[in-house]
Amino acid sequence: MTVTKSNLVNRMAESTGWTKVDCEILLNGFLANIIESLQRGNRVELRGFGSFYVKERQPRLVKNPKTKKVLSVDHRFVPIFKPAKNFKLTVNRQLLKKSGLLKNES
């Protein structure tokens, strides 16, 4: 299942008691601030969740495996998200438990 922005707004409204309109404004503002910070070249750290930063990619030549044609990829900057250590561990543990692959914890 994919969680959409609309789903997040609904969950926020249910858990806070705020209106969906207020939650959507808050979420849009939050996301806009992250994007603007990255556009300025800043790193955004949300402790316990992860970090957003921009990585520079140099120009390079790539080959399309289907057509074997060589193409040039321009110099660019790519937004990256790196999850916090505990975030990765808890997601992994929960999904292993859900799939029945988690062995007995000591």
Among 54, 62, 41, 42, CA closest to 82: 54
Domain that holds residue 17: 5-99
Residue 106 domain flag: no
Residue 22 is assigned to a structural domain of this protein: yes
Q: CA 106 to CA 88: how far, in whole Å? A: 20
Q: What is the number of domains present in the chain?
A: 1
Position 103 scores a pLDDT of 73
One-letter amino acid at 35 equals: I
Residue 30 forms part of a structural domain: yes
Which pLDDT belongs to residue 31?
A: 98
Confidence (pLDDT) at 101: 84
Judge whether residue 92 has pLDDT over 90.
yes
Whether 104 is covered by a domain: the verdict is no
Cα torsion for 28, 33, 35, 38, to the nearest 10°? Answer: -170
44: domain CATH number is 4.10.520.10
* Residue 105 domain flag: no
φ, ψ of residue 4 to 5 degrees: the values are -95, 170
Average pLDDT, the chain: 95
Looking at residue 104, what is its pLDDT?
A: 65
Q: Token pair of 27, please?
A: 């979420």
- Per-residue pLDDT of 36-84, as tens digits, reads 999 999 999 999 999 999 999 999 999 999 999 999 999 999 999 999 9
Torsion region of 2: left, alpha or beta (phi above 0 gives left; psi -120 to 50 gives alpha): beta
- Segment 17-22 shows an average pLDDT of 98
At 53, give phi and psi (nearest 5°): -150, 170
Q: How far is it, in rounded angstroms, from Cα 52 to Cα 31?
A: 11
> Tokens 């939650």 identify what position?
23
Residue 105, pLDDT > 70, answer no
